[in-house]
């Protein structure tokens, strides 16, 4: 399977925050043979270890969160409709008229809406009230619904990827299966530094998985691979577009969670220029990433974020330019090659690290959980 096929397959799997197993299982089965060791931690993070050539003692963590925004069934109404709440940020009107899969069995359902003919004028001219939406699986009453689903079941958007336009891909959960697919590809390469490829959980509900993953890895440097906001549509001021589709991976200077390491960002930009790989800077400072958690891990980590611009993220129909994805992989690989010889690495190595939990010290065998 080539990298794009892997990405498409990843987007067709469901992994709402807290229920990332289907995504993790797929990733693990495809990268097992490319890493020296791996473990699944208590939270569900998949932490992989790929030993470097030994020419550099630098410890680099690569992070990509596996989870996606979705829904949870919070009540079953007497008429068989399912009340739900969103997990992660989803706008109300994005939910209307959408197909979902509910629970482990993937029971099909739809999110309906009051017909325009029956709406009162205030409803007609107002915004969608998320609290009034329900999932309809076709059940006649509560008993029938309870036969198929339970309160607490997760629900994910049921949308298959579509190639379209000029090198574009539409899919759900591009945030952040693009990061996952990129990291899977990167792990197939060979590098001088030690690589810890971390596929993390629960980013969308507050950057949770990255905290425990980085605690276990104690990296010198971390690179976060993401799908980020992009709104390069007409009538949008340039600074409000965040990023632009097809203009290369976006580097974060600052967002709600982090101010990226200045030298590391500079190194990435230089590497991109030297290798003629397009890149851009993210223009907005909204949203947060795992970089915010990993940066303050232990005595501190130098972090940077590299992201594929994704239009309409947090909807079932996010759109990316495939070239941004392949350029992000190329750039990350080049950065990993350049890092050990860079000033950034020298500065990191000078830092005094506390005796850390080095869970991969025991080379006696694989760590299975």
Partner 1 sequence: MECSELLKKLGSISAVTGRENMATQRIAELFGEYCDEVRVDAFYNVIGVKKGNGQNPGSVLVTAHYDEIGLIVTGIEDSGFLRFAAAGGVDPKAIGAMCVTVHGKKDLFGVIGTKPPHLIPPEDADKPIKMEDMRIDIGLDGEKARELVSVGDMVSFINPAQELMNNRLAGKSMDNRSGVAALVEILKELKKLNHEDDVYVVATVQEELGLIGAFTVTYNIKADLGIVIDVCHGDMPDSPSDETFPLGKGVAIAVGPVLSSKHTKACIKLAKSEKIPYQIDPETGDTGTEAAVHSIAREGIPVMLLSIPAKYMHTTVEMVCVDDVIATGRLAARYIAGRVKD
In a 3-state reduction of DSSP, which class is residue 90? coil
- Cα distances (angstroms) measured from residue 298 to each of 210, 211, 223, 357: 13, 10, 16, 11
> What tokens does 293 get?
């958690």
Asked if 104 is an active-site residue, the reply is no
Taking CB under 8 A as the criterion, the residue among 32, 132, 262, 346 binding partner 1 is 132
Q: Is 142 in the site for partner 1 (CB under 8 A)?
A: no
Tell me which stretch binds partner 1 (CB under 8 A): 92-100, 260-268, 293-301, 329-337. 92-100
Give the Cα separation of 342 and 132 in Å (integer): 55
Would you say 176 or 214 has its CB closer to partner 1?
A: 176
Smallest separation (angstroms) from partner 1 to the CB of 119: 8
Residue count, binding to partner 1 (CB under 8 A): 64
Closest approach, Cβ 14 to partner 1, in A, equals: 16
Q: How many CB atoms lie within 10 A of CB 4?
A: 16
Facing residues of 154 across strands? 72
DSSP per-residue letters across 224-282:
EEEEEEE---TT--GGGS-S-TTS-PEEPSB-SS-B--HHHHHHHHHHHHHTT---EE-
Contact region for partner 1 (CB under 8 A) — 36-44, 47-55, 56-64, 90-98?
90-98
Does 111 interact with partner 1 (rule: CB under 8 A)? Answer: yes
Mark 154-183 with x for binding to partner 1 (rule: CB under 8 A) and - for no binding. Answer: -----x--x-xxxxx-x-------------
Should residue 254 be labelled a site residue for partner 1 when binding is judged by CB under 8 A? no
CB 181 within 8 A of CB 2: no
Cα 176–Cα 200–Cα 88 angle in degrees, nearest 5: 55
Residue span binding partner 1 (CB under 8 A) among the ranges 93-101, 191-199, 210-218, 301-309: 93-101
CA–CA separation, 84 vs 71, rounded Å? 6
Region near partner 1 per CB under 8 A, out of 33-41, 77-85, 273-281, 298-306: 77-85
From the candidates 19, 185, 203, 204, give the one annotated as an active-site residue.
Answer: 203
Instruction: Tell me the CA end-to-end span of the chain in Å, nearest whole number.
Output: 27
> Would you count residue 74 as binding partner 1 (CB under 8 A)?
no
Whether the CB-CB separation of 249 and 308 falls below 8 Å is answered with yes
- 317 touches partner 1 (CB under 8 A): yes
- CA pair distance 22, 10, nearest whole angstrom: 9
Residues 30-69 as x/- pattern, contact with partner 1 by CB under 8 A: ----------------------------------------
Residues in contact with partner 1 by the rule CB under 8 A? 77, 79, 81, 89-91, 93-94, 96-99, 108-119, 125-128, 132, 134, 136-140, 144, 148, 159, 162, 164-168, 170, 229, 231-235, 240, 242, 284, 286-287, 311-317, 319
Looking at the annotation, which residues are catalytic?
Answer: 203
């Amino acid at each position: 399977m080539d990298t794009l096929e892997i990405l498409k397959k990843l987007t067709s799997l469901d992994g709402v925050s807290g229920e990332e197993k289907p995504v993790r299982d797929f990733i693990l089965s495809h990268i097992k043979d490319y890493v020296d060791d791996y473990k699944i931690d208590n939270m569900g993070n998949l932490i992989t270890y790929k030993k470097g050539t030994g020419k550099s003692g630098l410890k680099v963590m690569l992070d990509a969160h596996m989870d996606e925004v979705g829904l949870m069934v919070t009540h079953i109404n007497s008429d068989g409709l399912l009340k739900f709440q969103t997990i992660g940020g989803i706008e109300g009107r994005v939910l209307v008229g959408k197909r979902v899969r509910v629970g482990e069995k993937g029971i099909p359902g739809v999110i309906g809406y009051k017909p325009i003919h029956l709406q009162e004028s205030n409803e007609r001219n107002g915004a969608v009230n998320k609290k009034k939406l329900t999932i309809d699986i076709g059940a006649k009453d509560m008993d029938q619904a309870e036969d198929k689903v339970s309160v607490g079941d997760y629900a994910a958007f049921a949308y298959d990827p579509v190639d379209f336009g000029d090198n574009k891909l539409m899919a759900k959960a591009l945030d952040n299966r693009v990061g996952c697919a990129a990291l899977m590809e990167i792990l197939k390469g060979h590098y001088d530094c030690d690589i810890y490829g971390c596929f993390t959980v629960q980013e969308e509900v507050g950057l949770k998985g990255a905290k425990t993953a980085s605690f276990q890895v104690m990296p010198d440097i971390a690179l976060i691979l993401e799908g980020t906001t992009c709104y390069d549509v007409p009538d949008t001021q340039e600074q409000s577009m965040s990023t632009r589709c097809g203009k290369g991976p976006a580097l974060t200077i600052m967002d709600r969670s982090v101010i990226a390491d200045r030298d590391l960002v500079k190194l990435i930009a230089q590497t991109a220029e030297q290798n003629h790989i397009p890149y851009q800077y993210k223009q907005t400072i909204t949203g947060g990433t795992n970089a915010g958690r990993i940066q303050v891990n232990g005595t501190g980590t130098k972090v940077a974020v590299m992201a594929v611009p994704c239009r309409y993220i947090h909807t079932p129909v996010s759109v990316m330019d495939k070239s941004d994805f392949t350029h992000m992989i190329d750039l990350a690989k080049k950065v990993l090659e350049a890092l050990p010889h860079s000033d950034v690495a020298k500065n990191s190595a000078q830092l005094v690290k506390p005796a850390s939990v080095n869970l991969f010290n025991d080379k006696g065998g694989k760590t299975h959980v």
